[in-house]
Amino acid sequence: MRPFGPAAALLGALVATLIAARAVKRKSLTTAGAAAAWIVGFLSICTGLRGFVLLMFYQLGTIATKYRKEVKESRDASAAKGAVRGPGQVFACSAIAVACSVVHALLYGEEKSIDFVENQGASSLACAVIAHHATCLADTLASELGILARQEPVLITQPWRRVPPGTNGGVTWWGTLWSGIGGILMGLGTALMDAASGIEIRPAAVLCYGLACGLVGSFIDSVLGATVQVSYYDNDKKLAYCGEDTMLPPSALRICGANVLSNAQVNLVSVLVTSVLGGLVMGPIFFGM
């Protein structure tokens, strides 16, 4: 499928419209958020079938968010709020991947097999996109499913210290497991889309690469969450709060972190760092120079 050709544009517009309309109907996105999702969906699909991997992330993330929501609401105030996502949150988990995909389409044309000998530039961009998706899904699954772990989390920067569920930077083996699964799923999605496009794939390499990116990205996100994103806990309500919460109870005590970055900003920084590492360092290691 030729990037930004008639077929790609038609498919992109159709898929993007369906996604945006569904999000508005289910009240998971604001009107502005749905418009942002339309732009992201359109550009992603227009660059090639790998664009569907980003949509796969959104769908899996939505399922994970809704799973056992009542339990999460009893532990994390942000889950209890049920906030509708806006354009900032949409772009934080998509802008870098979309930018890399568009640059790939403009400079190198159709999607190519990941080969750092024959297609170094194209391969770096493709690996950056996979790293982006792996980080986003790994972090989402770790947050949404890790909070359901039976054991109390430990703070990633102070592993000897137990913290309440929902604390930014709090990790469990259960959440870490889901981080790895998220990375593998994004690698699998890429392999399936490449197979559908007739692109030569190396299944073991792309799955292991996705796993590594998911774990690295989730680690970076957790470290940022523990240091530059403030967390509070109210012993009376048994709820965790972040610095963005406008209804922070007076009885809430700071657990860790400084109020420097919002959750969306932490996500953006973590995916940026992992995308750069993936495209320039990890990609050549896993796929060979």
Run of H or E including 102: helix 95-108
| One-letter amino acid for residue 195 of the chain | A
- 228: number of Cβ within 10 Å: 18
**Residue keyed to tokens 């929501």:** 69
- Label residue 81 by pLDDT band (50, 70, 90): low
- Label residue 245 by pLDDT band (50, 70, 90): low
Residue pLDDT, tens place only, 202-223 = 999 999 999 999 999 999 999 9
- What percentage of the chain carries pLDDT values higher than 90? 73
Rounded CA separation 29/37 (Å): 9
Rounded CA separation 150/230 (Å): 24
Residue pLDDT, tens place only, 117-172 = 999 999 999 999 999 999 999 999 999 999 898 889 999 999 999 999 989 999 99
Rounded CA separation 156/3 (Å): 42
Q: Residue 27 above 90 pLDDT?
A: no
Q: Which residues contact 174 (CB under 8 A, 6 or more apart)?
A: 145, 146, 148, 149, 150, 151
Helix, strand, coil distribution of the chain in percent, nearest 5: 65, 10, 30
Q: Which residues contact 242 (CB under 8 A, 6 or more apart)?
A: 77, 78, 168, 229, 230, 231, 232, 263
Rounded CA separation 171/178 (Å): 11
Query: Which residue, 231, 216, 222, is CA-closest to 163?
Result: 231
Rounded CA separation 57/129 (Å): 12
> Is the distance from CB of 235 to CB of 251 less than 8 angstroms?
yes
Rounded CA separation 20/37 (Å): 6
Rounded CA separation 182/57 (Å): 9
Query: Which residue, 247, 255, 186, 182, is CA-closest to 225?
Result: 255
